[in-house]
Amino acid sequence: MLLLSHGCQSRLLAFATFIVACGALSLPSQTPSRPESRNPVKHIPNIGLGLWNSKDDDATKAVGYAFSAGYHHLDGAAVYDNEPFVGTALNASSSPPRHRYWLTSKLWNTAHRPKFVRPALEKTLSDLNTTYLDLYLMHWPVAFRPDTPPERQVVDQDTSILDTWRAMEDLVSANLTRYIGVSNFSPRELDALLKDAKIKPFAHEFETHPYLQQQEWVDWHHKHDIKVIAYSPLANSNPTYHDKYPKLDPILADRFWNELALDKNITTAQAILGWGIQRGTVVIPKSVHQKRILENLASVNVSFTNDELAKIAQQDRRARFNDPGRSWGVELFEGLDGGSNRFLLDHEL
């Protein structure tokens, strides 16, 4: 038994009190056990293939193109309705061994009740033909009642974010996922989670791109050692977003970005994604075209001078494209640019 002097004990006590006082931010970072005997990918790769809107066989082919191009990271979700097609690609003999790539999926809103969390992940694993994920995200900070049809979803007031998170924490100890994280949280929601979580979120996936830079929000995560995964990194290129701000140029046709790319002898998509990577976010562009999948990967070699970065900072439009809050009857992104509590005037865009 270790005997400590009185002075040493009180120093230890003071240290312990300090640790407790630090609250959520002193949570141990996730130290995953190894779900498979081989060493899995150590760090989340800074670029991954997005899979929303990649349908059926297109999803299978896109994953094949990504692997042969040299991607080691896929970003999917149960609600994208294509996990069996992604699983077909993962099962192909040409695919790399499982421990060589990073696999993210997301828990859908109808499975937030604690008893549904593990079955939801097990279904995803079975669809993907794999035994573990690298990262499982709570897709939205919103629970839906599980017993309502998709076209009439009702918010489930009886299930809190923390209830769901606790069940997700159990998935790490069950070796079903190496890390857990969140997506689309507001500062208030994340703060509340950090106060009571046993496991700190490894990553936060949210919309950010040159038209919605949210630099302070990104910096906050980096300061607290939470990875930022930048979704829709090509801004309004996703056709689902085309009607949202009709006055805003498609980013790939934006004069500023076209000229910057031309100057550097790269494509506009590479310039935009390269900026996302240089600012320390993980970018997950989606494409089903082999040429574009290859093109996007080359953005890892792009770099900007401080002068260029300052000019890019001025290109922020605070334009958020993905906000289903109104149709769900909830307020999302409180306090953030383009969030439900901030109404942009047309002339701002």
Ligand X SMILES: NC(=O)c1ccc[n+]([C@@H]2O[C@H](COP(=O)([O-])OP(=O)(O)OC[C@H]3O[C@@H](n4cnc5c(N)ncnc54)[C@H](OP(=O)(O)O)[C@@H]3O)[C@@H](O)[C@H]2O)c1
- In the list 130, 208, 296, 317, the residue contacting ligand X (rule: CB under 6 A) is 296
Nearer to ligand X, 254 or 295 (CB): 295
Catalytic residues: 80
- In the list 128, 234, 302, 312, the residue contacting ligand X (rule: CB under 6 A) is 234
Q: Distance of CA 185 to CAs 9, 65, 104, 339, Å? A: 40, 32, 17, 11
Binding letters toward ligand X, positions 96-125, x by CB under 6 A: ------------------------------
- In the list 100, 289, 326, 342, the residue contacting ligand X (rule: CB under 6 A) is 289
287 is a site residue for ligand X (CB under 6 A):
yes
Nearest 10 degrees: CA dihedral of 20, 22, 24, 27?
-70
285 is a site residue for ligand X (CB under 6 A):
yes
Query: Which residues contribute to the annotated binding site for substrate?
Result: 139
CA atoms of 190 and 338, how far apart (whole Å): 18
Nearer to ligand X, 10 or 240 (CB): 240
337 is a site residue for ligand X (CB under 6 A):
no
CA atoms of 76 and 158, how far apart (whole Å): 27
Nearer to ligand X, 158 or 259 (CB): 259
Q: Distance of CA 284 to CAs 77, 209, 341, Å? A: 13, 11, 27
Site for ligand X in 150-209 (CB under 6 A): 183-184, 205
134 is a site residue for ligand X (CB under 6 A):
no
269 is a site residue for ligand X (CB under 6 A):
yes
Residue nearest to ligand X according to CB distances in the complex: 50
252 is a site residue for ligand X (CB under 6 A):
yes
144 is a site residue for ligand X (CB under 6 A):
no
Nearer to ligand X, 124 or 232 (CB): 232
**Both tokens assigned to 191:** 């703060």
Strand partners of residue 136: 105, 180
Residue 19's Cβ-count burial label (10 Å; 0-12, 13-18, 19+) is exposed
- In the list 44, 52, 60, 101, the residue contacting ligand X (rule: CB under 6 A) is 52
Smallest gap from residue 239 Cβ to ligand X (A)? 6
Backbone phi, psi, residue 104, to 5°? -115, 140
- In the list 47, 51, 125, 282, the residue contacting ligand X (rule: CB under 6 A) is 51
Q: Which stretch binds ligand X (CB under 6 A): 33-41, 216-224, 289-297, 310-318?
A: 289-297
**Both tokens assigned to 59:** 């999803």
128 is a site residue for ligand X (CB under 6 A):
no
* 49-50 β-sheet, strand order: 49-50, 73-75, 102-107, 133-138, 177-183, 203-207, 227-231, 282-283
DSSP state of 72: -
Query: Which residues contribute to the annotated binding site?
Result: 139
Nearest to 84 by CA among 124, 120, 122: 124
Q: Which stretch binds ligand X (CB under 6 A): 118-126, 155-163, 219-227, 228-236?
A: 228-236
Strand partners of residue 266: none
232 is a site residue for ligand X (CB under 6 A):
yes
82 is a site residue for ligand X (CB under 6 A):
no
**Both tokens assigned to 23:** 């609250």
Nearer to ligand X, 78 or 172 (CB): 78
Is the separation of the CB atoms in 226 and 200 below 8 Å? yes
Show Cβ contacts of residue 193 under 8 Å, excluding neighbours closer than 6 positions. Answer: 24, 161, 162, 165, 182, 185, 201
Size of the site for ligand X (CB under 6 A): 28
272 is a site residue for ligand X (CB under 6 A):
no
- Helix (H, G, I), strand (E, B), or coil: what is residue 209? strand
- In the list 90, 180, 266, 284, the residue contacting ligand X (rule: CB under 6 A) is 284
Contacts to ligand X by CB under 6 A: 50-53, 75, 139, 183-184, 205, 231-234, 237-239, 252, 269, 284-289, 292, 295-296, 322
